[in-house]
Structure 1
Amino acid sequence: MVHMVGSRQEFGQQFMIRLPVCDLSMKQTVSTVFDDLGVGIMLHDPETGEIVGVNDRLTELYGYSAAELREMDVHEYSAVDEGHTQVEAEKRILAAADGDPQEFEWRAERADGERIWVNVRTTLTTLDGEAYVIAKIKDISNRKQQQEDLEAERGFIEQSLQTLNDAFYLLNTDGTLQRWNQTLSERTGYSDAELDGMQALELFPDDHQAAISKAITEVLDTGSGIVEAPLLTKDGEEIPHEFSGTTLTDDDGGLRGVIGIGRDISERQEQLNQLEKQEKAFRKLHQTASKSASFEEKIADLLAFGREFMDVEQGFLTSIDGDTQRIVVGVGPNEQLSDGAEAPFSESYCRHTVDPDRSGPLTVMNAAEEGWKDDPAYERFGLACYAGSEITVEGETMGTICFADRNPVDKEFTEIQETFVELLTEWASYELERAEREKKYRRLTERISDAYYAVDTEFTVTYWNDVVAERVGVPADEVLGENLWEHFPELEDTVVEAQFREAMDTQEPTSCEFHYDKHDYWTQLQIYPDEDGLAVISKDITDRKEYESQLERSNERLQEFAYILSHDLQEPLRMVSSYVCLLEEEFEDHLDEETQQYIDFAVDGAERMRGMIDGLLLYSRVETEGDERAKTNVDGVLDAVETDLELKLDETEANLIVDTMPTLQADEDQLVQLFQNLIKNAVEHGGRGTTVEVSSTEVDDGHRFAVSDDGPGIPPDQQDDIFRLFDKGGDSDGTGIGLAICERIVNRHNGDIWVESEPGEGTTFYFTIEDEYDD
């Protein structure tokens, strides 16, 4: 393979005669054999190391002629700058000549400059009675590239896990931590050494360990699971998390452990808590206001609720008469703020509440720290925290509704709490202004709807608020008493006139959207008729329309994304899968069990990713490639679905029962996909012999459909998540996109979809389709 440099005493006396290759019949035989095997051959003199023969395969591989190779030194066809030097090569030849066979990888440089990887095996052999060092050289460039690609992929996965914002974990079957990412150690405060071998239960509070243990068991039994529980840090802090896990198995299907993700849901939990509080407060306000009781009874009930909602000791309603403030209703232990108590208005907190420059409730967290120490109100009442709002009747201040405590609060009142105080005050004002309910109603609708006006049965304008006056540039004194169509001729023969006249004729509320070209804005009109005319609430929806336009553009980008998924991402996945399979085929006799497992993981991962991409394509195309809704016979839809699923129904011995179906306006292809996904889902989860029933019920504005099965049912803790992307359920081998696609199709048809299920008693999926079909 090489020319020796200098006299090389290690090889003995200089070999003086080079044997012609043509005189060596055994050499020719060896050369021909290795040519046929695709292996390059170099024969070296064991005394000098000189090349005495090469085969055709080697000249093809290196791009040099046999004569050129015999005259070249190793560095002339090697990547010397990568460490493949003359000295290193000579050491290998010397070792082989001394009876120590060598096998190594070498970076060669071809005559055209291309660098390739070769595997070299050198050994001492005898041909035609002569001793030679034979070097067998095989091109391994493809294998090296595959190894580099695989290492890069492993590096990418490892880096992704380490940079993942969610906590990644791998548990042994006994629940001990085997592997984790940096996020888990940073979030818990434990070092890697402390986490190594730690039981997963140690990362959770005592009162949640049973649920975690049950969840781990569920994953090991069913293949996957999701549980919410607080993650316990080293310092004892509890951080709300959602943990999802799936089983990890070996080649024989044996359980190796649980692999999964832990996601911090603190923000989501806080939002849910706030929404729950808001719903509770507004529901209480509505329920109490609707009761048949006196105003005093209602306000006492709401003040009692407000004390708890505001987390303070006292709630009270006051009246203001000149310089005297009186407690009308007081709820709580503070005697200074109990029923009938009076005080000078000049010494009250409420004098700041009724400040005409104030636009919302007055709130104080810590009066002493907020500059109230010298205020007469603080000196008299000693209230450390306070939230109050003004009650007005016909524009005059009549009193206040307040919540207070003699102790400060440790955080600001939330926007929801302030809104509750403001709404409660508005309701009280409304009740006290009963004689002027119409005027009060209009004022409230102005706050809600942005603009408000009214016309009589002849379409003469009877009310015109400042908001609509400003919006169209016409003050109230110019339009009141005028005919709407004469003053605004641009509205004639538009959807506005049509809806106004329809509401007047039918006496049914209606609505419409209209682009007012003259003033370049979009409005949504809510039209409420009565025997005296129409009340119209106008909401500026220009921003919403712009958002819808942006959404349309976003759908276009989604289509572009779908194209990328279909082409730019699918092809690399195919390449990865193909190369890994080639690697497996070429080295199947040399793969140990662990390496074979890695290859199987890689192929399976690529195939699952391809399935997820295909599912995402279907999901994205629900909106972007759906057809216009047309008259659709649902019986025909279900006939097509039964035909498509005939083989699966036969294989599983499933029984499909379909009631008489209606005809409605729908995208027929998407309706086929919707029923097919739901029926297939019922068959797959129900097990052999499942009975699936499809029925329909007419409801307001459309039809409600039900797809029921008598399978094992869905656990309650999974029912809220099954429509999420990639949620596959406890026993599914799918991608977890089918039900998400169902929800997207139903939403496109202006309907809702939900599930009702009891474990062991089957499952029913309900969905509604808005029917625009007119008989």
Structure 2
Amino acid sequence: MATRRLMKTENRSEAATAAVKTATAILDFPFSVFWTANDGVLRAEAISEPLREYVAVPEDPGQVMQHERGSWLWAHYERDETQTVLVDEEKAASDAPLHGGIVVPLSGHGLLTAGTDVKAEPTEREAQLADILGKNVLSTLDRIEREQELKRQRDNLDLLNQIVRHDLTNHLQTISGRAELLRDQCSGDAIEHVDGIQESSQAATELLETAGNLASVMQQTEWETEPVALGPVLSSVIEDITATYTDAQVTVPDALPSAQVEADELLSSVFRNVLTNAIQHNDSATPSVVVDVTDDGDVLQVTVADNGPGIPDEQKRTVFERGKKRPNSAGTGVGLYLVRTLVDAYGGDVWVEDNEPTGAVVGLALQKATDDA
């Protein structure tokens, strides 16, 4: 039980306290200390309860309990192996009646010591137990260090993501707005160039949003879904898509279901990427997209059918993989990869099949929320 508590600690301070408690409980040695090694000094970071009455500053034992480089305890720390010792009371960093002890170095993290007032050297069995505990403590400290480093990296990535998305989106909106102003002053081929600027600006904006969402997904360590009403999300995305792609024909059901599905705030990105792909990679004079929703009991199935060139059979299974994309696409392939990643996280499924007489159908199966009425 004590070891399990140690392995569940979330920071160094908790691990130090748990290590001391575990050492005291397992070895039945009353005087246990976790020492931090820093700047050539071992300082007590956590001490056992029985030791507190012998320390002048029990709430901050590191103020008085120290061993500098060159001391007997520092020498044991540098040897980097578990050892049993007999301690001269004059060498102790506290007034505790310390005689026998076990020293367990913890690599660069510090040192764990367990002491007793029994005037005898600890047994080999006690040393073995302390060594096993030391390995668990070291593993825990390494794990905490890795997790903290990953958190720092995720925080930095999140900050970079926010800055890039905010600034670049503003610049792209400015480019698109100024291109629209130029249209009134242009004629002939120049208008085509203005249209090209606006199309590229729109594509870059969509890619930026997709990349930002993908960055958010990549930062997730644990995924938690929540009930999300599918109808309003899908309706909002379709409204945005039809306003952006005015040349496309988007057909939707007369009424969308009110049921909720297991998802999160990125569900809209799933629909937006599927619909955008259906329109952008469509070679028809008038891109046509038909959206349908079917209630299959525990699942809501959303299909997006287009009249484009379709997707070859050999690419139907790979089009959702990272870096893969639809035939003759100039895109990056991250949009459908994001779709697959999110739908998998929601516990759903996504696939591609042929449309008749031409085109592709992307199907999405989303789990209904368990608390849906």
TM range (shorter): 0.3 to 0.5
Greater Cα radius of gyration, structure 1 or 2:
1
Higher RCO (C-alpha 8 Å, min separation 6): 2
Q: TM-score, normalised by structure 2?
A: 0.43
Q: TM-score, normalised by structure 1?
A: 0.22
Structure with the higher strand share, 1 or 2: 1
